[in-house]
Amino acid sequence: MAEIYLGIIGGGQLGSMLSVAAKKLNIKTAIYCDDIDAPAQKFCDEFIFGKYDDKEKISKFIEKVNIITYEFENIPYETLNEINKKKSVLPKPSINRLIQHRLAEKDFVNKLNIRTTRYALVEKKEDLDALKDFLPGILKTTTMGYDGKGQYPITKIEEIDSLKIDFSKNYILEKLVKLKKEISVIITRFGINKYEIYEPIENTHEDQILKCSKIPAEISAEIFNQSKNWAISIAEELKYIGTLCVEFFIDRNENLYVNEIAPRVHNSGHLTINAFNVSQFENHIRAVCSLEKVPLKKLSNAKMINLIGSQIEPYRQNIQLKDNEFFFDYLKKEIKDKRKMGHITTLI
Ligand code: ADP
Ligand code: MG
């Protein structure tokens, strides 16, 4: 087979881990990113720095590669769509456009008869007056949010003024779910009814940022099956190619809700690197590059802890790891508050 050169848009830790997985399959990677310090440049074969609307630099990138994928969803649709006219972009740009918009995403999920939190569009401050029923809730920007950014928990309408919210953007107001647990399901789809799916992963967040993921998730058989079935329906309906993650809420009455979909590999799936024969990253590469689908085998239970901000420091000081512990340093240039710096996976 001719050599495959994979283009990846985005150069964070997910891009790094995708590049590492590609290398294992003898696939070269070129990364395009708008951050000159992007950590993934240390792991890929070629790094191109440029803005996401820089046509010239993007053309150079397109020429290099055969297939293009992305490690984060906040890429302008126009950019992905233009690239797709020259080289195939997977997952398809239209899928990314749908999922990167919280309202369109939730409407889509509801049309499949899959439960989400209750939500309403907020285009201007006054819209909130009619939405008291959605409180307590969280106001979220419709686009560009991640790791809790662009989110405002609200208990009473009167709080709005002190929050200094920029109403030139659109928001959705989501009713707060009384959470019992959060889980995610990662699935890699290769074609019609052709997929590999990981078991549900149990997640805990701190300050709306993922802190810890583990398998097995402590959930009922009903939730186990329903979450997997919903993830399969979503992937099939989207005709998705590659790895996708569905984040779920479980409330105190054991109701399952889809929180959001990530059209990409996901932080909660980092433990698949050590706990399965094929990681979410390798599976993504296999699917977008039309390689063979390998049946998934679980090797171990596992727990992953994100190292956020300065939590990475002790691990960088030559800490002694046990045989069942795996430390990943994303090699980001600067330690910043709330920034994911690395993770540690323990096989249990
Ligand atoms: P992001 O795009 O930043 O990941 P999410 O919508 O997934 O945004 O929100 C991040 C976290 O905030 C969730 O994983 C959950 O812990 C909490 N959260 C968000 N929305 C709700 C909600 N409607 N009810 C309860 N908790 C929520
Ligand atoms: Mg989320």
Contact 261, 246 (CB under 8 A): yes
- The predicted pLDDT at position 1 comes to 58
Report whether the peptide linkage leading into residue 91 is cis, meaning its omega lies within 30 degrees of zero: yes
Written as six digits, the tokens of 344 are 């540690």
- The kind and range of the H/E element at 201 are strand 201-206
- The predicted pLDDT at position 2 comes to 72
Domain made up of 5-89: CATH architecture: 3-Layer(aba) Sandwich (3.40)
Most ligand 1 atoms within 8 A of CB, residue of 101, 139, 183, 208 to mutate: 208
**Mean pLDDT, consecutive 10-residue segments, the chain of 348 residues?**
90 98 98 97 98 96 98 93 97 97 97 97 93 95 86 91 89 96 98 98 95 98 98 98 98 97 98 98 98 98 98 90 96 95 98
The ligand with the least distance to the CA atom of 176 is: 1
Q: What is the β-pairing status of strands 179-191 and 171-175? A: unpaired
Q: What phi, psi does 206 have (nearest 5°)? A: -130, 130
161 alpha carbon – ligand 1 mean position (Å): 22
Count of CB atoms situated within 10 Å of the CB of 111: 9
Range(s) within the chain of domains with CATH label 3.40.50.20: 5-89
210 alpha carbon – ligand 2 mean position (Å): 8
Residues within a 6 A CB radius of ligand 1: 117, 138, 145-148, 174, 176-177, 179, 182, 205, 208, 247, 259-260
Nearest CA to ligand 1 atom 12: 208
57 alpha carbon – ligand 2 mean position (Å): 31
Most ligand 1 atoms within 8 A of CB, residue of 73, 105, 259, 268 to mutate: 259
Nearest CA-CA partner of 269 in 248, 245, 249: 245
Q: Does domain 118-175 have CATH number 3.30.1360.70?
A: no
Please calculate the CA angle 61-239-292 and round it to the nearest 5 degrees. Answer: 70
279 alpha carbon – ligand 2 mean position (Å): 20
State whether residue 153 is helix, strand or coil: strand
- The predicted pLDDT at position 37 comes to 97
b/e sequence 163-198, b meaning 16+ C-beta within 10 Å: eebeeeebbbbbeebeeebbbbbbbbbbeeeebbbb
Nearest CA to ligand 1 atom 27: 176
State whether residue 92 is helix, strand or coil: coil
Amino acid at 284: H
Written as six digits, the tokens of 50 are 């440029």
Range(s) within the chain of domains with CATH label 3.30.470.20: 179-347
Looking at domain 179-347, its CATH class is: alpha beta
146 alpha carbon – ligand 2 mean position (Å): 7
Rounded to whole angstroms, the Cα distance separating 169 from 191 reads: 37
Which atom of ligand 1 is the closest one to the Cα of 150? 3
Which atom of ligand 1 is the closest one to the Cα of 117? 23
Count of CB atoms situated within 10 Å of the CB of 277: 12
Please spell the DSSP secondary structure of 270-301, one letter per residue.
TTHHHHBSS-HHHHHHHHHTT-PPPPP-B---
pTM: 0.96
Contact 325, 346 (CB under 8 A): yes
Q: What phi, psi does 165 have (nearest 5°)? A: -85, 140
260 alpha carbon – ligand 2 mean position (Å): 6
